[in-house]
Amino acid sequence: MPPISSIPSPALSTKACDLELLKLRIGGMIALTAVVSYLSMAERVNIAHLFWLTLAMVLGSASSAVFNHWYDRDIDRMMERTANRPLAKRGLNNSSHVLWLAAGLLLSGVSIAVWFFNPIVAIHLFLGAFFYGVVYTVWLKRRTWMNIVLGGLAGSFAVMAGAASVNPGLCALPMLLALVLFFWTPSHFWSLAIHLKEDYQKAGVPMLPVVVGEQKAARYIFLNTILLVSASLLPWYFGQLGMIYLAGALLSGGLFLMENWRLLRTPTREMGWRNFLGSMRYLGVLFLAIVADVTF
């Protein structure tokens, strides 16, 4: 890891250790993914279980987020979007506090998963944090454009954790939904990478648009989204979900492919951002379709 520049760096203060370190928006998305997976499997909803599942997933996500802030503080300083992150802005020479915080958050999440559910939930929670914190941040992010493809498995493990909180055995539906999340992640993050290409280029991070350019990256996104929409039909094809889900998958998939086509024709920063937002709308509609299908 490149050395941190010698900026005056007091011990980690409560101001530096603020909520921004936890990346709660990402944690909320991870928790929502697990909750939707829980709802797709549960015959009866237990509100207490939903609470503890949400808390465990947020803690697990927060642990990897804190580690990501710590490990990436050098390149975060180089990018406009991340230059004001707490650790990038203040710097830390003695950073053991941050690593202990990350470890404590992960241990808390895993403990809740074991205590209120079962070890399988804890394993999936741990693997999700490991893939984001170590596989993506440490091993892949600075080395290859495939970084987000494998690192994005964190979302798939959230699906498996939510399902395992109901049934720890391997079941077809969560595995199919985990596949959908696997294909969703590249379309989501590569779109953001087109919008932030100059930032990643400045920091030397080989995100796909930096390596192959915006036009070719848009082509990869479009092809990946075709795989995504195809994968989203598998839960209906194999009889795991019904017609309400199929309608939602077709509607959201069709709209997202239209956004992808616009990006392919005009691969600009603005269109990258628009496709990034479109990916979140797509996932939101798909989640609503899952919940509506299993409810009605």
**118 by DSSP, 3-state: which?**
coil
My answer on whether 161 and 68 are in the same domain is yes
Domain count, the chain: 2
- Distance between CA atoms of residues 154 and 176, nearest Å: 15
**Quick check: is 11 in a domain?**
no
CA 152, CA 137: separation in Å to the nearest integer?
A: 11
CATH number at residue 91: 1.10.357.140
Host domain of residue 231: 171-296
**Same domain, yes or no: 22 and 152:** yes
2 is a domain residue: no
pTM to 2 decimal places: 0.90
Identify whether 8 is part of a domain: no
Instruction: Please give the backbone phi and psi of residue 242, each rounded to the nearest 5 degrees, phi first.
Output: -105, -155
Cβ distance 89 to 76 under 8 Å? no
In angstroms, what CA-CA distances link 16 with 9, 213, 277? 11, 36, 29
Tens-binned pLDDT, residue by residue, of the chain (296 aa): 333 333 333 334 444 446 888 999 999 999 999 999 999 999 999 999 999 999 999 999 999 999 999 999 999 999 988 888 888 887 655 567 889 999 999 999 999 999 999 999 999 999 999 999 999 999 999 999 999 998 888 889 999 999 999 999 989 999 999 999 999 999 999 999 999 999 999 999 999 999 999 999 999 999 999 999 999 999 999 999 999 999 999 999 999 999 999 999 999 999 999 999 999 999 999 999 999 999 99
- Residues 44 and 149 placed together within one structural domain of the fold: yes
Structural domain includes residue 1: no
